[in-house]
Amino acid sequence: MSTADKAQLRVGMVGYAFMGAAHSQAWRTVNRVFDLPAQVTMVAVAGRDRGKVTEAAERLGWAEAVTDWRELVSRDDIDLIDICTPGDSHETIALAALAAGKHVLCEKPLANNVAEARAMAQAAATARASGVRTMCGFNYRRVPAVALLRRLVEEGRLGDIRHVRATYLQDWITDPQFPLVWRLQKDLAGSGALGDIGAHIVDLTQYVTGQRIAGVSALTETFVKRRPLPSASAGLSASPAGDEAGAQTATGEVTVDDAALFLARLDGGAVATYEATRFATGRKNGLRVEINGSLGSAAFDLERLNELEFYDATVPATRQGFTRILVTEPDHPYLSAWWPPGHIIGYEHSFTHEMRDLIEAVAGGTDPRPSFDDALQVQLVLDAVERSAAAGSAWTTVDPA
Amino acid sequence: MSTADKAQLRVGMVGYAFMGAAHSQAWRTVNRVFDLPAQVTMVAVAGRDRGKVTEAAERLGWAEAVTDWRELVSRDDIDLIDICTPGDSHETIALAALAAGKHVLCEKPLANNVAEARAMAQAAATARASGVRTMCGFNYRRVPAVALLRRLVEEGRLGDIRHVRATYLQDWITDPQFPLVWRLQKDLAGSGALGDIGAHIVDLTQYVTGQRIAGVSALTETFVKRRPLPSASAGLSASPAGDEAGAQTATGEVTVDDAALFLARLDGGAVATYEATRFATGRKNGLRVEINGSLGSAAFDLERLNELEFYDATVPATRQGFTRILVTEPDHPYLSAWWPPGHIIGYEHSFTHEMRDLIEAVAGGTDPRPSFDDALQVQLVLDAVERSAAAGSAWTTVDPA
Amino acid sequence: MSTADKAQLRVGMVGYAFMGAAHSQAWRTVNRVFDLPAQVTMVAVAGRDRGKVTEAAERLGWAEAVTDWRELVSRDDIDLIDICTPGDSHETIALAALAAGKHVLCEKPLANNVAEARAMAQAAATARASGVRTMCGFNYRRVPAVALLRRLVEEGRLGDIRHVRATYLQDWITDPQFPLVWRLQKDLAGSGALGDIGAHIVDLTQYVTGQRIAGVSALTETFVKRRPLPSASAGLSASPAGDEAGAQTATGEVTVDDAALFLARLDGGAVATYEATRFATGRKNGLRVEINGSLGSAAFDLERLNELEFYDATVPATRQGFTRILVTEPDHPYLSAWWPPGHIIGYEHSFTHEMRDLIEAVAGGTDPRPSFDDALQVQLVLDAVERSAAAGSAWTTVDPA
Amino acid sequence: MSTADKAQLRVGMVGYAFMGAAHSQAWRTVNRVFDLPAQVTMVAVAGRDRGKVTEAAERLGWAEAVTDWRELVSRDDIDLIDICTPGDSHETIALAALAAGKHVLCEKPLANNVAEARAMAQAAATARASGVRTMCGFNYRRVPAVALLRRLVEEGRLGDIRHVRATYLQDWITDPQFPLVWRLQKDLAGSGALGDIGAHIVDLTQYVTGQRIAGVSALTETFVKRRPLPSASAGLSASPAGDEAGAQTATGEVTVDDAALFLARLDGGAVATYEATRFATGRKNGLRVEINGSLGSAAFDLERLNELEFYDATVPATRQGFTRILVTEPDHPYLSAWWPPGHIIGYEHSFTHEMRDLIEAVAGGTDPRPSFDDALQVQLVLDAVERSAAAGSAWTTVDPA
C-alpha cells in the first residue's frame, strides 16, 4: 500500500528522556520496516522545559514541541497519546487523553499504585466502548525470542509448566555516591527495583506461561538508605551535586527498595522465584527467565536478546540438550522485516515491534495487548509483594482485578 | 615421605552405592596424587547383602566385606568410619563409631532431622576431647573453583556481599512413572530435594560467603503425589516394578518435597534466593551460585565445575566483565597435584580433595571442616525452611546451634 | 548545534536492496542519535526499475526516486553518492561521481578485481586534492566491540601479535536447490565467499592488528557446481524458478567459490588462518576473530556483536581468564549516544556509526577510513588468494598498492 | 565375573612423567569402574634414575621399579608394554617388545619420523600374525563427546562433510624465558607443536569424519629462536637454569616449530584448516574441532570435554540451533560406568577408557584402534606438513602408508 493511500496515525508524546528517545526511534522506524495499514505522523512532543523540549523535538523527529501535555490532549490533529513520563503522572495524563477520545500508549508500570491503575483500567474500559484503544508498554513481549518462547508454550512444547525462575539484575546504583534521582523516590517512582524492573519480569513470565501469579511471599531491601541529592540526571546516569572541592553535599532518604525478592505460585500450578535488584554488580541488564515444563524447558537472557535456549525432552536422550536458537530467521516473530539470518537486532527494536502491533490493532479495530487490565494485574502483583514484605514475608494472595 | 614411613589411616566404609563408589574412588586415589602424612588402607566395607557387598568390595578395592557395620566399629584395625548410607542410619552409626573412638566421616546431610543432628554434634564434641575427628561430607567445598571463590571473598575482592542466588536443579524424576525410591520416602531420606541437594547449596553459599542464614521464607511442592513402587534401584536411576505386559503396578505415596524454594537473609546483610528441585527439565546437575558484592561478583556452575566467573568492579569500566577463570592452574586450590593447565578434572575429584583434607587434619591433629557443628547448622536451616513452608511461608528464624 | 545552523550533507544513493536498506536506516538515524556538524538530507535513490525504486524511496525515506544513477551524479543538490550496487558497477559509478566532485561512499568490496580497484583508488587520490572525500564501507570496523579491540591493540594490551584466526561462516546456500543468484556469478560478484565475506575478515583483522597481510597460501572450493536459475531474489534469500508442478528447471554454472581458505603472514610477524564459506551449516553470520599476542588475547563473534572476549596475561595467574566485556558502556566506542549499559544494539548500528564518522570527516575536512587505498589493498589480498589457489596453494606475495 | 576367575593382563610401563602418571591412574582405575574380561596387574615401571623411578613406582602404584626397560621386555610375567617415553625411543622399545611377543601400547605420536613409524607398523603387522596386539595412544578418541560425534557422523546425521576446522591452542611457552625442555628439541621430540598437539587433531578429525587427509599446504613458525637451558622440568612446567643472582644463563637453539598451520583436503571431499600452537595466550588446552556437513554440524572443545555442540539442520528452521549436549547420560559412550547425569568427568578418564578398550581387544583377540597403521598415517600427514612448509607452502600430497 502506498503511503498516500494509508490511514494516518497522528501521535503526540509526553516525556522525552530515556523512554521518550526509545519510543521516538520506534515511531520514526516502524513504517520504514513494516508494511502497515496506517502511517505514523510524529506531531508533537510535550515537556515542561521549553528549551529542552524544543531541542528534543528537533533531535528526535517531532514536528512540534509544547510545554503543556494538555495541549496535546486537546488538539484535533492528534490521534494517540504516548505517555513516557515517570509513573506519578500516568493516571492524570491517561484519563485526560481517554476522556478526549485519544488512543493511549502508556509506559510501564501502568501507575504508581493499585488505585491509580484501577482508575486507568476503568477509564480504558469506558473508552473501549467508543473504539478507543489502550496499551501498556511492556516492550519485552516484543523481543522476538520472547515471542518465540510464548509460541513454544502455546504449542505445548514445554508441556505442563512446573518452574519459573526470573531475575532482573542491574547494578547502576551500587555506588553509595550515586545520587537520589527520581527513580529512588517513592512519590515519583512508586517503588524501586520492584516497579521499574520487577514489573517487567512479572509481565513477561505471565505472558509466556499464560499463567498468572496467584500469591507471593516477599522481602525487599534498601542497602543504601541515604544518598546525595542530584544535580542533574538523564536516563539511568546522573551526577551528585556538590562543589568542585568535594565539599559534603546534602543527602536525602532513599524511599524505595533497592532489591525485591519473592516466591510465587502461578494459577496453573507452577512455582516460581523472582528477583529484581539494582545491586547485582556486573549485571547490566540481566533480565533472565527460565521455564521448566514436563516436556521441555526454555531460557532467555536480555543481554543476549537474539537467542533463546530451548530444551526438548522428547528427542532421544543422547541428543538432548539446550539448543541455542539464534532468533533471526525469517519465520521467527517480527524478523521477516529485518536483516538476513544471523544479523542481530537490538534493544530498541522491541519498541518498533510494539508500535507495529499497536498500529495494526488501532487500524484493525482490535484491542492491543498488554491491555490496561493486564497492566493492572501486574500492579496487583507488585502490591501483593509490598504487602507480603511488610508482613514478614507472609503468604499474600494477589487481589482480583 | 616414603609409604613405609608414613602413619596409616585404616578405613572402614558403610554403604557402597552411589556415594560409596565415589568415596572408594577417592580413597584409592588420594595417596597416588597427593603427598600426604598418612597412608590410607581400605580395610573393609559393610553392607547387609552378603553377595552384593562382597562384589562391591572386590570391585571398589576394599580388602574385606562384612554384613554388619557394627563389626567395623568394633575392630581394632580400623581408625576411621566412612558413613555412606541413607540419612536414617547416620546417627546410630556415627554415635557407635565415636563411642568406639573412631574418627568419622559422614555423608551429607548429617541426619534426617535436627534432633539427630544435635545428638551427633554433641557426640562429636565429646569425642573431640579425646582427639577423635569428625567431618561431614559436603564435598563441593573441595571443588577447586568453589575453593577459589571462597578465597576471593576472604581476600575482600567481592567487597560487602549483597546478594546470593543459588539453585540446585535436577530433572531425574520428571517422569511420573519413575518409581518410589528411598530418596522419595521421608522416613528414609528425611526430606526430598531440600535435604538431598538443597543442603549442598546452603552449605556451599554459607562457606563461600562466610555468612550464615539467619531467617527464611519458604515454599515446597510435590508435583507427583504417588509413584509406582520400585523393583530395583541404584544411584539416581531405578525401574518401576511391574510385569512385562505393563500391568498396573502398585503405587505408594511420595512423602518428600519435589522442590523447595526459599528466600533468606544472611547474618552479614546479604539477601538470597534458594531453589532445589528435581523437576527442572534439562538441568542434570545444575548447582549454580552467584554472589554479588560491592566490589565484585562471582558465579559458579557445577556442570562446568572447572570454571569460575569473576567480575572485578575495580578495573576500568571499559574492560570490566565476567572473567571465565579456567580453574586448572597450579596455583589454584588442589590443582598442583593434577594435570597441566586446561586439562580438566571431574566430579569425583571433589571427594579425593575431601579425603586429602581429612587425612591432613587427622594426621595433623586438627579438626577438619565442615564439622558436625557446621552440618548441624545446615540442618537447622533446612528445618526452618520446612517450618516456614508449613506456616504459609511466614518468616522463620533459624534456631541457634 | 541546532539543525538550522548546520551544514547540509545531501545524499544520493544507488541501489536499494539489502545494503541500500541498511544504509537508508543509518542515514535516517544518524542525526537523531549523534550530535554532528552536518545534517543529512536524503535527496534521491536510483534504481533501474521505475516501480520498485519508487516504492523503495517511499519506504526507505528518500525524497525522490530516479531510474538512472547518472542523474544523481549530475545534480547540483547532491553532495555525496552512496554506492550500494553489486560490485560490477562500482568503478563506473564511483569514477563518474568523483569526476563530478561528489564525495563517495562505496560498499565493499571496492571492486570486482584489482584493475578496477586501482582505477578507483587513483581517482580518489586525484579527487582528494580538490577536497573530495572517499570511503569504503567495511562497516564492521564500526561495531563497538571491534573498535574497542582496535583500541586495546593500540594501547599495547595484547603485546606483540603472534596469531590471527579469522572465519566468516555462513550457510545460506547449503541447499543445492538454492538458485543461481547474482552473488554466485563471477561477472557480477567478482568472487564468491571470498569477496563477499572474506573481504570483511581481511579488512577487519588488518584494521585491529595494524598489520597487513604480506603473503598467502590458499585453496578455494565450489561444492555445488550447477544451480537452478533464479526466479526472483532479494538480499540473501531467493527462490528457484520453475512451475508449480515442480518441473525440472533450467540450471546454470556457479562461477564463484563457495569457500575460500588461506594461511597468511602479516607484515608485523603474525601468522594467520582465514576461512570464508557459505557452507558452514548452522553458522548464520559467523564472523569470528581471535587475536593472540604476547601480553593478551581477544576474541570477537559477530553473532554476539555486543561482546568482546579479552584475556589479560598481566593479571595474576589465578585470576586470568577470558573476560566477556559487554560493550555497552558509555565509555565504549560510539555507545554514549545509545542506551544504558546492557541494552544491546544490533547489526544495523554499524552503518549508523559508519555514517557518523563519514559525516564528521566530510564536515571536518579530513579523509575518512577505510579509504579507497585501504580497500584496494584488501582487493590485492583477495587477488593473491585467488592466484595462490590457482597455483596449487603456492605461497603468493600480496602485490604492493 | 569375579576377579579370581578373570584372565590377567600384566603390564610394564616405560616412563613415569606426565603421560606415565596419566596412564597409571587409568591402569589403577579401569577394573574398578568397568566390568572387563581381564584384570590388570601393574607389574613394574622402568626409568633411568633409580631414586626417581622407585619413588614413582610407589606413588603411582607399580609393584616394582627397574632402571632398564629391557628388563621389562625380557620378563615372563609381563604381557603388555606401555610406552610413555619421549618419541625418540618409541621405535627401539616397541620393536624389542614386539619381538619378545609383548602387546604394546605406545603413546602418540607413534614416532619422531616416518621411517621409524613405518618400521613400527611393519613390526606390528608381523606380530599380529602371532596374536600380538598394538595400539597407539590417541586418547582423545575416548572422550565420550568425541565418541558421540563419531557416532553421529556414522549415523549420517551430519550428511556429507564439507568443512573441518581444527585447532589445538596452548600457551605454555609464550614467555621467552621458558627453558629449552626436551619438547623443544627436534632430536628428542621430532617436532614441536606439530607432533605434540597437531598430531591429536589430525587423528581426531580423521577418526570422527571417517575421512583421511589427502594433501596439505602448510606453514610453520618458531617465534622464539633461543631459550635458556633448563635446570629441571616435569610435565609441561620447568624452570630455567641460573644462579640465584639472576646471572645470564646459557641458551640453546629451539629446533622445533612453535606453531604449525595447514590447509587440507580430505579424501571424502571436505576442506579443512588446522592449527597447532603453543603461543595462543589464554588458551590452555584449546583443542577445538568443528565439522560442517550437509545435514548438520558439530563442535567440540576439550576445555569443556563433557559437552558436544550439535546442529541438526533437519528440524524445523524456527527451532534449529546448536544444541549443547551434556555428554553424561548412561547411553552416551563409556558413561554408564560412571556417575549420574550431569556429574562430569575429566581429562584422565580418556585414558581409563583407552585402557578399557585395549583390555577388551586383547582379551577378545581383536585388534584395537588406533592401530600402528593408523598412527603411521598420522605421521605421514605430519611429514607432508613439514615438507609443504619447507617448500613455500606448496600443495603436498600425503604419502600412502
Contact across the interface for D310 and A324, Cβ inside 8 Å? no
Contact across the interface for B58 and D172, Cβ inside 8 Å? no
Co-location of C109 and C195 in the same domain: no
Residue numbers in D near C272 (CB within 8 A): 261
The amino acid that residue B345 corresponds to is I
* Chains with at least 3 CB pairs less than 8 angstroms from chain D: A, B, C
The minimum CA-CA distance between D342 and chain B, rounded to whole Å, is 5
Q: Is the dihedral of CA B9, B15, B20, B21 positive or negative?
A: positive
- Residue A6: the pLDDT is 83
Rounded to whole angstroms, the maximal C-alpha distance in chain A is: 68
Residue numbers in B near D306 (CB within 8 A): 303
- Residue C240: the pLDDT is 54
Of D219, D279, D281, the CB nearest to C311: D281
Of C322, C326, C332, the CB nearest to B323: C322
- Residue D232: the pLDDT is 55
**Mean pLDDT, all residues of chain B:** 95
- Residue A249: the pLDDT is 73
Distance, CA of D245 to chain centre = 40
What is the side-by-side strand order in the sheet with C64-66?
A: C64-66, C38-46, C7-14, C80-83, C103-107, C134-137
Instruction: Give domain status of residue C401, yes or no.
Output: no
- Residue C400: the pLDDT is 94
Residue numbers in C near D297 (CB within 8 A): 280-283
Question: Which one of C318, C322, C331 would you mutate to disrupt binding with B, by most B Cβ within 10 Å of its Cβ?
Answer: C318
Of C263, C269, C275, the CB nearest to D393: C263
Q: Where are the alpha helices (DSSP H) in A254-371?
A: 349-364
Q: Which value does ipTM take for this structure?
A: 0.94
The amino acid that residue C68 corresponds to is D
Co-location of B285 and B249 in the same domain: yes
CA D145/CA D159 separation, integer angstroms: 19
Task: Please give the grid coordinates belonging to residue D398.
Answer: 600425503
CA B154/CA A98 separation, integer angstroms: 58
Beta bridge partners of B107: B137
- H-run or E-run covering A46: strand A38-46
Q: What is the domain count for chain C? A: 2
The minimum CA-CA distance between B325 and chain C, rounded to whole Å, is 4
Domain CATH number, residue A134: 3.40.50.720
Instruction: Give domain status of residue A247, yes or no.
Output: yes
pLDDT digits (tens, 9 = 90+) for B241-254: 544 444 557 999 99
Contact across the interface for D303 and B326, Cβ inside 8 Å? yes
Contact across the interface for A326 and D329, Cβ inside 8 Å? no
Of B237, B283, B340, the CB nearest to D236: B340
Co-location of B266 and B210 in the same domain: yes
pLDDT digits (tens, 9 = 90+) for A146-204: 999 999 999 999 999 999 999 999 999 999 999 999 999 999 999 999 999 999 999 99
With 0-12 CB in 10 A as exposed, 13-18 as middle and 19+ as buried, what is C187?
exposed
In the three-class reduction of DSSP (H, G, I as helix; E, B as strand; rest coil), residue C268 is classed as coil
Question: Which one of D173, D285, D308, D323 would you mutate to disrupt binding with B, by most B Cβ within 10 Å of its Cβ?
Answer: D285
Given a cut of 70, whether residue C237 has pLDDT beyond it is no
Co-location of D271 and D319 in the same domain: yes
Domain boundary among B96, B124, B140: B140
Q: Which residues of D touch C (CB under 8 A)?
A: 162-163, 165, 167, 169, 171, 174, 217-219, 221, 223, 259, 261-263, 265, 269, 271-273, 275, 277, 279-283, 290, 292-297, 311, 313, 320-322, 392-395
Residue numbers in B near D238 (CB within 8 A): none
Co-location of C310 and C162 in the same domain: yes
Instruction: Give domain status of residue B401, yes or no.
Output: no
What are the CA-CA distances from residue D396 to residues D113, D220, D263 (Å)? 17, 14, 10
Given a cut of 70, whether residue A264 has pLDDT beyond it is yes
What are the CA-CA distances from residue B213 to residues B131, B266, B377, B384, C12 (Å)? 30, 4, 9, 10, 67
Contact across the interface for B263 and A262, Cβ inside 8 Å? yes
Q: Are D200 and D382 in contact (CB under 8 A)?
A: no
Strand C161-169 and strand D237-240: pairing? Answer: unpaired
Domain boundary among A122, A140, A158: A140
**Mean pLDDT, all residues of chain C:** 95
- Residue A237: the pLDDT is 57
Q: Please, which contacts does D118-123 make with residues 24 or more away whose CB atoms are closer than 8 Å?
A: D118/D376, D119/D91, D119/D95, D120/D90, D120/D91, D120/D94, D120/D95, D120/D372, D120/D375, D120/D376, D121/D371, D121/D372, D121/D373, D121/D375, D121/D376, D121/D401, D123/D94, D123/D95, D123/D98, D123/D99, D123/D372
Co-location of C229 and C347 in the same domain: yes
pLDDT digits (tens, 9 = 90+) for C98-131: 999 999 999 999 999 999 999 999 999 999 999 9
Instruction: Give domain status of residue B365, yes or no.
Output: no
CA D342/CA D348 separation, integer angstroms: 18
Residue among C346, C221, C201 nearest C280 (CA) = C221
CA C294/CA B77 separation, integer angstroms: 57
pLDDT digits (tens, 9 = 90+) for B10-57: 999 999 999 999 999 999 999 999 999 999 999 999 999 999 999 999
Chain D residue at shortest CA distance from B60: D32
CA C345/CA A80 separation, integer angstroms: 28
**Mean pLDDT, all residues of chain D:** 95
Instruction: Give domain status of residue D309, yes or no.
Output: yes
Asked if the peptide bond before residue C316 counts as cis, ω within 30 degrees of 0, the response is no
DSSP codes, A357-371:
HHHHHHHHT---SS-
Of B262, B275, B281, the CB nearest to A296: B281
Contact across the interface for D263 and C292, Cβ inside 8 Å? no
Of A323, A331, A332, the CB nearest to D323: A323
Residue numbers in C near D272 (CB within 8 A): 261
Co-location of B160 and B278 in the same domain: yes
Residue numbers in B near D2 (CB within 8 A): 55, 58
Instruction: Give domain status of residue D395, yes or no.
Output: no
Contact across the interface for C321 and B324, Cβ inside 8 Å? yes
CA D22/CA D16 separation, integer angstroms: 9
The minimum CA-CA distance between B153 and chain C, rounded to whole Å, is 13
**Mean pLDDT, all residues of chain A:** 95
CA C294/CA D59 separation, integer angstroms: 38
Contact across the interface for A283 and B273, Cβ inside 8 Å? no
Co-location of D298 and D352 in the same domain: yes
Q: Are A221 and A256 in contact (CB under 8 A)?
A: no
Question: Which one of B285, B328, B331 would you mutate to disrupt binding with D, by most D Cβ within 10 Å of its Cβ?
Answer: B285
Co-location of B285 and B338 in the same domain: yes
Report which DSSP code applies to D347.
T
Chain B residue at shortest CA distance from C332: B318
Instruction: Give domain status of residue B29, yes or no.
Output: yes
Of B33, B55, B349, the CB nearest to D346: B349
Instruction: Give domain status of residue A401, yes or no.
Output: no
Q: Where are the alpha helices (DSSP H) in B178-290?
A: 186-189, 193, 199-209
The minimum CA-CA distance between A321 and chain B, rounded to whole Å, is 7
CA C340/CA A173 separation, integer angstroms: 13
pLDDT digits (tens, 9 = 90+) for B339-372: 999 999 999 999 999 999 999 999 999 999 999 9
Given a cut of 80, whether residue B209 has pLDDT beyond it is yes
Co-location of C130 and C171 in the same domain: no
CA A298/CA A322 separation, integer angstroms: 8
D241-267: b (≥16 Cβ within 10 Å) or e: ebeeeeeebeeeebbbbbbbbbbbbbe
- Helix and strand numbers (H, E) in chain D are 11, 19
Domain CATH number, residue B190: 3.30.360.10
Give the domain range for residue C341: 141-370+378-396
- Residue C74: the pLDDT is 97
Domain boundary among D140, D160, D191: D140
Co-location of D313 and D167 in the same domain: yes
Apex A389 CA angle, A383 and A394, nearest 5: 100
Residue numbers in A near D318 (CB within 8 A): 148, 325, 329, 331-332
What would the mean pLDDT of D319-335 be, rounded to a whole number? 98
Co-location of D225 and D99 in the same domain: no
